[in-house]
Amino acid sequence: MGCMNYIKRFVVTAVIFCSLLLGWVYLLGELMPEEPTTPLWQESLSQLHELYRITFRQSHNTLQQASQLSADSLPAIAVIMRVIAESERIHCRICQRAIESLGDNVSAPSTPDAEPQPTMQVIEQKLAQKERLNRETLPQAIGQALSDENRYIARMLTWYNANNNYHIRLLKASYGEDMELGAVSDGAKKDRTEAYYLCPTCGHIEIMELAPYCCPHCMTSRSEFMLFK
């Protein structure tokens, strides 16, 4: 009789313990945040990695082109290229922070040296790259971040998008408002060198004489801006 009671108590204790264990596992699954390996996060990560690779290569090539333009005695366009290259480098950092916030890491892609090209061809190709970013890659990445309800990433990519638009305006202005290649002679461009401020947080560019008290995107103080001239 005593043995039967012992077995019953053991069985009841085991059932209670298993019930508590299963309840704890279920509750833990409900409370723990979703892992960044779900298909939803994977889509965001895939787009962000692609954007990071594009921007990394753009920054590298833009800096090379700035050096070439300086060697070709085109200082005005060289300054524009240098400030754009640094802005692109900051955009790389934005992409990296976004990727890391989703629990992943980045590795720098290969960056083969670009062949020297005529100035107008360089500008035309860079414009095409940036317009493709604004038309396809950035809207998809921002839309995915909003779909994921991740406004932190969406906000950083919106900074990137706005700055990329300004890069396009700078590049267009560098060879004439009428957009005809060669419409402004290289000699004329030498006398139009501007000075620019660059926000080190989000990559926003301002003409030095018109720079606001703080960055209109991320509110970084003007005292922290980087000067290019």
Q: Tell me: the pLDDT tens digits for 39-83?
A: 567 888 999 999 999 999 999 999 988 888 887 778 888 899 999
Torsion of CA 9, 15, 16, 17, to 10 degrees: 100
Token representation of residue 96: 């990296």
Q: Tell me: the pLDDT tens digits for 103-119?
A: 899 888 887 777 778 88
- Per-residue pLDDT for 35 more than 50? no
Task: Provide the pLDDT for residue 5.
Answer: 56
**Polymer length in residues for the chain:** 229
Asked if residues 148 and 101 have their Cβ atoms less than 8 Å apart, the reply is no
Half-sphere exposure of 115 (CA within 13 A, CB side): 2
Task: Provide the pLDDT for residue 99.
Answer: 92
Task: Provide the pLDDT for residue 215.
Answer: 95
> Could you tell me which residue, 72 or 38, shows the higher pLDDT?
72
Domains of the chain listed by start with CATH number? 39-193 (1.20.1260.10)
Give me the mean pLDDT over the 121-144 stretch: 92
Asked if residues 206 and 196 have their Cβ atoms less than 8 Å apart, the reply is yes
